[in-house]
Structure 1
Amino acid sequence: MERSLKRFAVGVIATGVVVVALPISSAAAINSTPCDSRTDIVKVTYNNGASSFCMANAGVTNRQFSNVTGVASGNNKIRFVSNGRTISMDKWQKKGILDGTPQRITRLRIL
């Protein structure tokens, strides 16, 4: 009986550790996807408008984008770091570079 109680206690503790550890890990489900003509995904236009990179699913990426000329959020709320400033966007928003100075994005999160 005492051995069964110890096994049960170890099982409960192990389950508790897993339950506590899961929320601590960061979400890494963000992935690249072909842009095509889709408007529901996050789209970063860079290299002075010559290149685009699209992403889907919640998560974060530290991918570097230089000479960014536009960001579209699609059907996502996003937050990104551009030239050291954190910028938030709601769903279906687009931001372009108005003053002609391309930006550098160093981190992007799909919420």
Structure 2
Amino acid sequence: MFDKFQSLKFSAMAERALNSTDLLLVYPNVCKLIRVCLILPVSSADCERGFSRYNLIKIKQRNRLYVSTVNTLMMMTVDTPDISDMNQFNFGRAFDVWAVSKARRFGNKAK
């Protein structure tokens, strides 16, 4: 087995090993280990980026924020598109969706 896969990169080796029924039958534990290795994160950069954003949001002066508020602010900071993509955003359509989602008064008082 070592001779077959020695010169391959991990991704190519994993693909070949998991697509081979012979290897799945002969080395089932190795194939399980390969599957685990494929889903493990390579670095903790995403997690650390999240904690960094959290520390920017939940500062000493904002220590009474509800968890739901912090969650919403985290989503807004992490999932916001780049400024360069904003020229493609249809603000008129977004307003229309927002306006019909709930009964609202736009400058007119309800009778």
The TM-score normalised by the length of structure 1 is 0.25
Q: Rg: which structure is higher?
A: 2
Query: Whose helix fraction is larger, Structure 1's or Structure 2's?
Result: 2
More contact order relative to length (CA 8 Å, sep ≥ 6): 1
TM-score by length of 2: 0.25
